[in-house]
Amino acid sequence: MRVLITGGAGYVGSICTEELITAGHEVVILDDFRTGHPAAVHPAAQFVEGDFANAAIVRDVFRRASIDTVMHFAGETLVAKSMTDPQSYFDVNVKGGIEFLKVLLEHRIKVLIFSSTAAVYGEPLEIPITETHVKKPINAYGESKLIFERILEWYGHAYGLKYAALRYFNAAGASSVYGEDHNPETHLLPCILNSFESGHEFVIHGADYDTPDGTCVRDYVHVVDIAQAHILAMGALLRGKTGGAYNIGSSKGYSVREVLSAVEEVTGRKLRVRIGPRRKGDPAVLVASHEKLVRELVWKPRFSELRSIVRSAWEWRQSHPSGYHTVEPRLASRGM
């Protein structure tokens, strides 16, 4: 199977590429390095530098390679930025996504795996969150992803496009080769590890939530388990399954203090911590129900125990102390 991956130089996209190639698939990566890294491009993948919303570039990819299915990771993802610049999120994630879909339809692509988010739900009314939970995003990022999910649903009705929208909760951890390197960094685990390097205090944003230890509780899932969910979804759709939306989480929550404790245990280092004010829009608890994913796609998280996640992230950070910035790219095939 030859899979086109948009955003294959990014965090989840690079590790999904790694897992696909390990499983014997061929991968074509399309990435413009807006947030990805040349050193995160798998050397066994074919690589094209470009924007997924540029129809001419995407058409050229299809002209040069026989693509069987598509995984769409690329897009704008920072929640805070989406509140100050929502236009860019709707331009890229919605308008750009529609332009991308036009080319897929031209080339009779019938299977698409979409990288979505738990941000489509907004403030939870019930825990754990199921796929039928009310969708009321509280930021433009979540809204843009939800709009595109709805577009996919209509395209399914009208054009026969089969899709799986995979709603990540908190992707974390690393493979032995690829890891997490964002600028700016907003995810909890790499932010904690960054505090070791900077020597600064780590700030807990609020310790007075209605949770057992007063800090926010989140559902963390190992990025390799996320990649496997994409591969399972692709296989199910190719076999004729209807598809739809699936939560990807461990169905278990950990508080900020529990994550801090796990980091100290794994690294053997002590963090300097202080309590800061709450951040606007942070719910007390966000935990997924992954029952649908387990039932329909027979997904089983293998690496999502908290200390396993922390250990993988720490090992990758030790071998990449400056992230990807000091790693030489290993591109095997540019421009196809």
Catalytic positions are 141
Tell me the C-alpha to C-alpha distance, in Å, between residue 235 and each of 30, 64, 221: 21, 24, 21
CA-to-CA distance for 219 and 228, rounded, in angstroms? 17
Tokens standing for residue 330: 């290993």
Tokens standing for residue 251: 């169905």
Place of tokens 């002209």: 63
- Counting other chains too, the contacts that 317-321 makes at CB distance below 8 Å and 24 or more residues apart are 317/174, 317/179, 317/190, 317/193, 320/179, 320/181, 321/197
Could you tell me whether strands 170-172 and 253-255 are parallel, antiparallel, or unpaired per DSSP bridges? unpaired
